[in-house]
Amino acid sequence: MRKMLLLAAVATMAASLHTGVARAEEETVRFWDPASSSFQTIVRRPSTRSMESPIKKEMIDYAGPFGGGTIIVNTTERRLYYVFGDGKAMKYGIGVGRPGFTWQGIHHITRKAEWPGWTPPSAMRKRQPKLPYFMPGGPDNPLGARAMYIGSTIYRIHGTAEPWTIGQAVSSGCIRMTNDDVADLYERVGVGTKVVVVR
């Protein structure tokens, strides 16, 4: 009987310690939301899902028309290519715009940011009124670890806190990459890099 009571006590302590650890990993962030003229609170909880891309990046042979230093986004393939110019390119898995939010064109990267804050565009806030006016940068921010802003568009190549969406068409037009992949691409490109988006 004593053994059973002792085992039950140990199990109870372990469960409470586990709960304490889970709570300790949560992070509460407060920020001022001008749209509601009030402070908003976000509770960041650790994800239990895999943070790895379901599509691994790989070096491939490239004999296409674009020169070294070009980013090619193929929204149909849901792949992004960074061309090295020596017959090689790095191929990454990406998430793309859902139906009605796809686009194409040739632009350049006009800005780069690490752990960027996010201001949802007004059109997005009309569709989703509960979105905050602004969300500070961090692990749960929709822009992830890095963002590369594309021309004068509202679109970006950015990381994501939802890497399981890579290979899918779920965004509002932005190009999503895992945080590891977007950090890798971020180091390879600069402001002025050509971005070719094709369907």
Distances (CA, A) of 64 to 18, 60, 71, 108: 53, 12, 12, 19
Q: Would you say how long the chain is, in residues?
A: 199
Ramachandran angles phi, psi of 127, nearest 5° = -75, -30
Is 174 an active-site residue? yes
Is 158 an active-site residue? yes
Which member of 18, 107, 108, 174 is catalytic?
A: 174
State both tokens at 31.
Answer: 């920020």
19 SS3 class? helix
Of 70, 54, 90, 85, the residue nearest 164 (C-alpha) = 54
d(CA 42, CA 92): 31
10-29: b (≥16 Cβ within 10 Å) or e: eeeeeeeeeeeeeeeeeeee
Q: Indicate which residues carry an active-site annotation.
A: 158, 174
